[in-house]
Amino acid sequence: MCGIVGIVGSRPVAPLIVDALKRLEYRGYDSAGVATLEGEILDRRRAEGKLINLETRLNASPLSGNIGIGHTRWATHGAPVEVNAHPHFSSNVAVVHNGIIENFRELRQALEGDGFTFTSQTDTEVIAHLVAKGLRDGLEPIEAAHSAITQLHGAFALAIMFGTEADLIVAGRNGPPLAIGHGEGEMYLGSDAVALAPFTDRITYLEDGDWVVIRRNAMTIYNLKGVEVNRDEQKSIGSALMVDKGNHRHFMLKEIYEQPEVIGHTLANYIDFNGDKIALRDMGDNQNPLDFANLDRLNITACGTAYLAGYTSKYWFERHARLPVDIDVASEFRYREVPMSEKGMSLFISQSGETADTLAGLKYCEQAGQHLAAIVNVRESTIARSSHNVFPTLAGPEIGVASTKAFTCQLSVLASLAVGAGVQRGHISREQEIKLVRELSEAPRYANDVLKLEDSIKALAHTLANKEHVLYLGRDTNYPLAMEGALKLKELSYIHAEAYAAGELKHGPIALIDEEMPVVVIAPYDRIFEKTVSNMQEVAARGGQIILITDPRGAQEAGMDGIKTIIMPEMPEIITPIIYSLPIQMLAYHTAVHVGTDVDQPRNLAKSVTVE
């Protein structure tokens, strides 16, 4: 998603802005731009594609000026070409914007009627013209900015600069987050604190509906009604976090390798290892403590990979806690007109905590009076702040667009919650709790062992790289994992992949099987292994090329010569979805590297999807 940066500084800001934009690259973008104020002239450089193109432009034709705004754009309205890149100008006004202005057509029509000429296809340009119109109508810059913001419908975060003001940026948010950074004689703003980490760790987050007047030595925040409000300054951990690749070729690989550690951190937050028991800590509103015993239904809502973590947990909650679970992709959920149970709880899973569809689902459940719980990786996020109970994943910042460590940390929280729910609901005895907790605590060790399989997985990945289609099969918790495998392969390597519940194959998709079709089968040796092997044999009989991910017992019992295997260690059933995620991720990663795609920022994708 688009990224915003602004600096009211005391030195030339263009290089600083580009530096901050680089830290927002992980969000996904397809063009970028910077504007600064030089004397009384607003000037800008914009470029299609990666920031390196913008840097080349800036090197050839530098921008001076101690105040500026910058942007990485993920195209929504209008193609990712230079004329649509931000900042957008209207006479003496420059604007950068993240989100969607829903009423831009009406506004554009009216502004064109008022004599304003549009040079882009974006919704953003209306903001620049609205502010310019305010100025033309005699408003002061701050009034003009505020007046424009109040006319916008939709979800947006934006920053506005003026040709006449060397010490002023006005910014606002309604939906996507905005962080204000406090420096010494400099102030900053950014889409997140990570962007501002090189400059400051003193951060103030705007709340929904807030807008802010930023000057070199001060800032004043107002709410939607124009009343001055106080928002706390926080010490951000963004600056303490390493946002580089270390020795790894890609952020994604680094994040895959971080999993043993972050799974361990995350589990330690929900498990009392000394007492061998689940200790459900949350950082939400303790007025509404979570009690699974009184629930009669859990509905889980999320998008993409987070949805697949939720899907996996449906098996856990129903099996271990006898708690019925509905699981929906967020974009469908809110329009499904779901009848809500008075004793139900709604759980939202989101790495970023800002995904617009998931947030809309949360608002729907809030209106229905549901108890709201969230699993998020970004604790300051809107979804976290809107929920009664918050269960953070401790994955650290995830920069690769494809979610890896956040997924396994979500699974770690969900497994802990499901066991905790089983205990609270009286379906898990003390003895079973001890066993399950000890099994969960083994997850980091197994994850570490599995990373050692990378070389053999890499070799297998090369056999996928020239394929056009790949199928993934699994049963039980390995079915959502098969979906996650297919999603990872698609988004990273652009190879078409589909997942099926293994038993479903014969009801249609088996027609796809021929000698050209690779089929990844996820089947640890468990109570339904035999059933999955039968489905695998149906594939083999039709010439399909099987890659079996199993354990030594499974490899032996499968009894099929000539199939490719990834042999995992034998492990307790409850942790298999967490640990089997790793070969799935590595297979997709190495296939993509071999194909030569942009692994950390696959085409068309955004890290934090703040539009519906």
Query: Whose Cβ is closer to ligand F6R: residue 191's or residue 351's?
Result: 351
> How far apart, in Å, are the Cα atoms of 341 and each of 296, 320, 361?
8, 21, 16
Give, to the nearest 10 degrees, the angle between helix 405-424 and helix 304-321.
Answer: 20
Can residue 565 be called a binding residue for ligand F6R (CB under 6 A)? Answer: no
User: Taking a C-beta distance cutoff of 8 angstroms, is the pair 11, 183 a contact?
Assistant: no
Q: How far is the CB of 96 from ligand F6R (least distance, A)?
A: 22
Query: Whose Cβ is closer to ligand F6R: residue 393's or residue 535's?
Result: 393
Bridge partners of 213, per DSSP, are 170, 220
365 labelled catalytic: no
Query: Per CB under 6 A, which region of 114-122, 302-310, 335-343, 517-525 contacts ligand F6R?
Result: 302-310
Residues from 455 through 474 that contact ligand F6R (CB under 6 A): none
Q: Is 204 helix (H, G, I), strand (E, B) or coil?
A: strand
Query: Whose Cβ is closer to ligand F6R: residue 157's or residue 278's?
Result: 157
Query: Whose Cβ is closer to ligand F6R: residue 87's or residue 400's?
Result: 400
Among 63, 69, 278, 402, binds ligand F6R (CB under 6 A): 402
Q: How far is the CB of 353 from ligand F6R (least distance, A)?
A: 7
- Closest by Cα among 98, 530, 491, 136 to 308: 491
Residues from 466 through 525 that contact ligand F6R (CB under 6 A): 487, 491
Burial class (CB in 10 A: 0-12, 13-18, 19+), 597: middle
CA max distance for the chain: 82
Query: Whose Cβ is closer to ligand F6R: residue 122's or residue 352's?
Result: 352
Query: Whose Cβ is closer to ligand F6R: residue 305's or residue 477's?
Result: 305
- Closest by Cα among 610, 7, 113, 151 to 128: 151
Q: How far is the CB of 358 from ligand F6R (least distance, A)?
A: 5
Query: Per CB under 6 A, which region of 178-186, 301-309, 441-449, 518-526 contacts ligand F6R?
Result: 301-309
Amino acid at 175: G
Can residue 609 be called a binding residue for ligand F6R (CB under 6 A)? Answer: yes
> What is the C-alpha radius of gyration for the chain, rounded to an integer number of angstroms?
25
User: How far is CA 166 from its chain centroid?
Assistant: 36
Among 389, 403, 408, 478, binds ligand F6R (CB under 6 A): 403
The Cα 62–Cα 281 span in angstroms is 51
Can residue 306 be called a binding residue for ligand F6R (CB under 6 A)? Answer: yes
607 labelled catalytic: yes
The Cα 270–Cα 272 span in angstroms is 7
Q: What residue number has its CB nearest to ligand F6R? A: 304
Can residue 36 be called a binding residue for ligand F6R (CB under 6 A)? Answer: no
Residue environment code for 206-216, b if the CB has 16+ CB neighbours within 10 A, otherwise e:
beeebbbbbeb
Q: Which of 22, 133, 254, 607 is catalytic?
A: 607
User: Taking a C-beta distance cutoff of 8 angstroms, is the pair 91, 32 a contact?
Assistant: no
Site string for ligand F6R, 337-356 (x = CB under 6 A): -------------xxx--x-
Size of the residue set binding ligand F6R (CB under 6 A): 15
Q: How far is the CB of 151 from ligand F6R (least distance, A)?
A: 29
Query: Whose Cβ is closer to ligand F6R: residue 83's or residue 605's?
Result: 605
Amino acid at 121: Q
- Closest by Cα among 79, 39, 7 to 165: 39
**Tokens matching residue 160:** 């506005």
Query: Per CB under 6 A, which region of 62-70, 134-142, 175-183, 299-307 contacts ligand F6R?
Result: 299-307
User: Taking a C-beta distance cutoff of 8 angstroms, is the pair 158, 150 a contact?
Assistant: no
Query: Whose Cβ is closer to ligand F6R: residue 417's or residue 487's?
Result: 487
Q: Which of 2, 303, 365, 409 is catalytic?
A: 2
Residues from 353 through 382 that contact ligand F6R (CB under 6 A): 355, 358
Burial class (CB in 10 A: 0-12, 13-18, 19+), 184: exposed
Query: Per CB under 6 A, which region of 61-69, 114-122, 201-209, 300-308 contacts ligand F6R?
Result: 300-308
Strands 518-522, 564-567: parallel, antiparallel or unpaired by DSSP? unpaired
Among 303, 372, 399, 546, binds ligand F6R (CB under 6 A): 303
User: Taking a C-beta distance cutoff of 8 angstroms, is the pair 526, 477 a contact?
Assistant: no
**Tokens matching residue 612:** 């519906």
Query: Whose Cβ is closer to ligand F6R: residue 387's or residue 403's?
Result: 403
Q: How far is the CB of 484 from ligand F6R (least distance, A)?
A: 8
Can residue 90 be called a binding residue for ligand F6R (CB under 6 A)? Answer: no
User: Taking a C-beta distance cutoff of 8 angstroms, is the pair 192, 24 a contact?
Assistant: yes
Q: How far is the CB of 606 from ligand F6R (least distance, A)?
A: 8
Which positions are annotated as active-site residues?
2, 607
> Where on the chain is the footprint of ligand F6R (CB under 6 A)?
303-306, 350-352, 355, 358, 402-403, 487, 491, 608-609
